[in-house]
Amino acid sequence: MRRTLLSAGLALLAALSIGFGSCRPDTNIEVANLNLLHGFACDPLAPATGDQCRVEERIGLLSDHIVDAGCPDVVTLQENVVNAFVLAGLNQFRGPLDSTVALLEAELPSLAEACGFPYHLIFDPEGVTVLGAPRGIDEEVILSRYPALEAEVRVLYSPFEPFFNRHALHARIDHPLGPVDIYTTHLASGSDQASSLCGTQIIFPLPCPALCDDGVDTARECQAKELAAWVEATHDVQTPAFITGDFNATPDSNEYQVFASRAWIDTHLAVGNGECEPSSGKNCTSGRDAEIGELEDPAFNTDARIDYIFLVPPSAAFECGLVRAEGRFGLPGTGLFASEPNPFAESCGAAHDPICWTSDHTGNQANLRCSRARRRGDD
């Protein structure tokens, strides 16, 4: 996606302090994140038709969670199926599939009515592989209350080049605080050789990127380094930035350290939330089966934390603090998102009951409250 507008730089900034006091509501930056689940595993081989794990219901449930979370300024979503892929007929090995982007677009009017403002849907509608085929099976989407000043996609290293790549979506949002950068990604999993050493190509021999250690870094570690370098190169304003997504890596991993070592803040932990407890599923975001059974089961079935919202702190022109959770139907806090089994129905389960979970993942949310820093002599 080409950059569409260049924003003017602003002299802004901040020291991060958890629990900062009240300020103008429009200077809050609220972000929610979720791997949406494309639902391939629920669809039999063509020509039979599946329903992508009840995808229409799941996206309806996502809308309910968005409203319940107070209609965050930004919602980032991974594992989207896009129109170009569906219309090209390349999805017929499963399905046929529905475009999750089209389903999200269909939800926008009801979201606007419930939230009191329209969401802008930002993604790469013309995303193709190097060979020209629509990518379309694992795309990033951003819903934003505020319009994007610019947006682009960065293709990341893959052992399957040129047939398949991971990528990240960047949008600079025209927020009342100033231009705010949002980055969202889905790093490699075992299905696309995440643990293979960089430079070990599955199809064509291609070199490991220069900023990665050939034969030392894994493919996913290399992707993390590429993403971090891209953030450093493009985040050239003094307002904060957010890096969200499914990183497919736990907090004890090298991939996590790529971001944490730069003093970028794991928002979930920064407000005092605990680490994932695999035995109970508390504070975990992954582990639920990607097939229909566990999406219809009210049990958490999660045992790892691999989804994050990292905060790149602003400069000292602002004082900012992450808001702790303040209860349902109130100001959104910082922690998990869509973390309850369908709280909008009396019960949930297999059809014809409402579905329990919108995805095989539990999401994240962060609320950053900012105001201009007081200068010496200010009242």
Q: Which residues pair with 282 in a beta bridge?
A: 277
Q: What is the mean pLDDT of the chain?
A: 86
Give the pLDDT of residue 97: 81
Tell me the C-alpha distance between 233 and 78, whole Å.
23
Lowest mean pLDDT across 26-30, 141-145, 305-309, 323-327:
323-327
Lowest mean pLDDT across 28-32, 191-195, 272-276:
191-195
* Mean pLDDT computed over 122-138: 77
SS3 226: helix
Closest to 144 in 3D by CA, of 168, 117, 107: 117
Lowest mean pLDDT across 24-38, 261-275, 358-372:
24-38
Q: Are strands 363-372 and 29-35 parallel, antiparallel or unpaired?
A: antiparallel
pLDDT at 32 over 60: yes
More reliable by pLDDT, 132 or 208: 208
pLDDT at 23 over 60: no
85-94, 282-291, 330-339: which has the highest mean pLDDT?
Answer: 282-291
More reliable by pLDDT, 202 or 28: 28
The model's confidence at residue 9, banded by pLDDT at 50, 70 and 90, is: very low
* Mean pLDDT computed over 145-171: 92
Tell me the C-alpha distance between 202 and 290, whole Å.
25
Q: Burial code of 13-34, b = ≥16 C-beta within 10 A, e = fewer? A: bbebeeebeebeeebbbbbbbb
More reliable by pLDDT, 316 or 171: 171
**pLDDT, tens digit, 9 for 90 and up, residues 56-83:** 999 999 999 999 999 999 999 999 988 7
Tell me the C-alpha distance between 40 and 344, whole Å.
26
Give the pLDDT of residue 20: 31
More reliable by pLDDT, 267 or 199: 267
**pLDDT, tens digit, 9 for 90 and up, residues 311-359:** 999 988 888 999 986 544 445 689 999 999 999 999 999 988 999 999 9
More reliable by pLDDT, 349 or 84: 349
Give the pLDDT of residue 43: 78
Is the pTM above the cut of 0.85? Answer: yes
Lowest mean pLDDT across 125-134, 172-181, 200-209, 282-291:
125-134
pLDDT at 235 over 90: yes
pLDDT at 86 over 90: no
Q: Which overall architecture, per CATH, does domain 14-372 show?
A: 4-Layer Sandwich (3.60)
Say what percent of the chain tops pLDDT 90.
68
Edge-to-edge strand ranges of the sheet holding 167-175 = 148-155, 167-175, 178-186, 241-246, 307-312, 265-266
pLDDT at 227 over 90: yes
Cβ-Cβ contacts under 8 Å for 110 (sequence gap 6 or more): 63
pLDDT at 18 over 90: no
Lowest mean pLDDT across 22-26, 92-96, 354-358:
22-26
Token pair of 202 as six digits:
């599955």
More reliable by pLDDT, 372 or 231: 231
- 268 in Cβ contact with 309 (< 8 Å): yes
What is the domain partition of the chain in residue ranges?
Answer: 14-372
Give, for 102, the enclosing helix (H) or strand (E).
helix 100-115
Lowest mean pLDDT across 1-10, 29-38, 154-163:
1-10
pLDDT at 262 over 80: yes
